[in-house]
Structure 1
Amino acid sequence: MGRLRGGTVRRRFTILYAGGFLGSGILLLALARLMSGDRATVRAPGPAPGEVPAAPADLAAAERRIRELGEQLAEAHAQQDHRWLVGSLIALAVMTGLSLLLGRILADRVLRPLRTITAATRRISAENLHRRLAVTGPADEVKELADTVDDLLERLEGSFAAQRRFVGNAAHELRTPLATMRASLDVAVAKREPAAQTLVLAGRLRTELDRVDHLLDGFLVLARAQHGTPADRTPVSLGELARKALAARTADIAAKALTVDDGVRTDVWTEGSETLLSRLVENTVDNAITHNQENGRIRISTGRTGTEARLVVETGGRVLDQERVDRLTRPFERLGPDRTGPEGSTGLGLSIVAAIVEAHGGRLALTARPEGGLRVVAALPAAPSPSERSQPSEQSQPSEPSEWSETEGAHR
């Protein structure tokens, strides 16, 4: 019974069908045995009515003959029982094999529509909820299940679309009052000899407005990344994007006295939206800088493994909990207040990275390094470089960048 409860449905159906067939065969053999078990009673020959009884000598010879015949009959019955038993065991062995084969065939036939539904459902994600199972056939339980899944997908598609529209529209609408507030601050500060308190208040408000504007920008990028596969696809060099991101944050790197181990290769290409991919690299680098410790270290590298172009960013620091690290791709998820840098954090950085990676058909891996710190690997479908497109040739593919260790060379 425990075996039936475990394993796949296919295995359970096979065992149930085989058990049913085998049980029916055993019952049939038992009935045949019972039907053939009746022994015909043969009456010993004796004097017929009116006949003169035989002499004692003849009677003794007849009795011996009867005993011999009885022994022969018993031996014949024993041989018959033995043959029946051997035949029954052979029949049960053959029936067991046939039962398993028929059970497997029937289980496959019964579960075939379910496997089709499962495969189609797996191909449907949050980015292609418009697809439907559209199972055809008789109105049975399987079609009812498929129609229920289609209805669920339709409701989910509407919910996701409404959510994305709301985020995008809200972000756009909030930019107008933000612009009005900035203009009002500029007017107040531009007056002759503004009060010192006005200048201080204007500076604080500008800082908060910048944070809100940064948050809204994150919402817009997140909504665009979650909208689906980018339409403006073009070959992009991950190495060039990484170099630009590092150059743009030179002052922040110097302010924290961070050591950067640069393993960037400019010959690693992918295909997608240059705007979104640039934001992906910038957010990954920003996360490594903002949530790093003073005098810390960063290793950033790009490489190509098989059909994947990879961006790897590693940081040092304290040992992190992997379960909490796995939640960093959720919006507004942080590891704790100590991970909020001096400029503040919207909590959208890695969630935007995850959405952009998914929109480009890649995968994102966040790993807590055993020696401390975080390792971020963004793997995207590799694309040939412009030179490879113009002149196809066999080139060696550099392997994935190795894990960063404290003994590796670094430069600031």
Structure 2
Amino acid sequence: MTRHAAWKPSGTVRTRLTLLYTGLFLVTSTILLTVVNLLLTSALESRVSSITEDFPPFGELPPGAGPAPRAPGAPDRPVRPEVVDAMSGLPGAVLRYQWTVSAIVIAVLTVVSVVAGWWLAGRVLSPLRHITATAHRLSLSNLHERIALAGPRDELTDLADTFDAMLERLERSVDSQRRFIANAAHELRTPLSVQRAAIQIGLDDPLPDRLIPVREKLLTANRRTERLIDSLLLLAQAEHGPGGMEPVTLDPLVRQTVEETAADGVVVTADTRPVVVEGDPVLLGRLLTNLLQNAVRYNRPGGTVHVGLTATGVLTVRNTGPEVPAERIAELFQPFRRLHSRTRTADGAGLGLSIVLSIARAHRADLTARPNPGGGLELTVRFPVHTGAEPGGRRAP
């Protein structure tokens, strides 16, 4: 159950942005009007006080005295006290009027700021509405669609482009998973069909001499199915990630794998240097086994396989054999894909290099492949070297 069934701008980001815009306006306008009113009040009081002090008091001139001196701009005759009192109260009256007008203006502009802030927030968040609607519309059947947000380059277009890149990766992953399931079903169906045919045909004649080849066919198909299931489980484990990472001395493991691999008429040589890498010993052993078995199986009679390991963690496996088209090398790392022009046998399930790629990625290693000029393939795995342990430490089983 999703938390939000549809895009709801009210009560969420749009409301908060509107309140933020309005609050900022109220704070700044209130501070501005307060400062202006206080300065105006101070100026009025100072001006009125200086003028009233220059007015001659009414009725205080001595008899026979001449006219009192007056300040420039002051009246030439005495001013009544009520006039002086009225002028003294002028700043307060102006201030009250100013505060009243300011309050009315702030109230009106607050309403305007709410409306303008709501509209502006909607304009700013409209790309998010488009992104959200597209995300709700997408499913496994229309992963090919993209947001494709137009407009100037900003944070929202960057967000939309990031979603588009994620959708592209997700689409490739789903397509790869669909192909994997289809190929796995096909590979599992083949040995089961052989078993069923052997049982149906071979057991029609229950004579002992007919049961022997039937048994051999069933055992062969059973072993192939078992190897395929083991490979699928190992591929799933490699894609999930190693169970535990520890320093592993790789060079003795390489030599051990070379000694245990059946050469099948192929000359295998090794040139290794001491190096320690961080990884899962079991998965690293399977990576080396698959690389060597692949190099031996997909070779020519009397061919060679050379295994090299440098002190910088670069593992190279190079074999002879038929030429491999450079444009088809990427297919070798896809599950259940075989290049029949290279194969000597059909015993493999097409998962060897897929498992190698998954194990390499789980160990943050780079796996590359290139065809040899005279035929065959060169696979290179670049492991990050473990700097916290000296060569000759923990050895992988």
Q: TM-score, normalised by structure 1?
A: 0.47
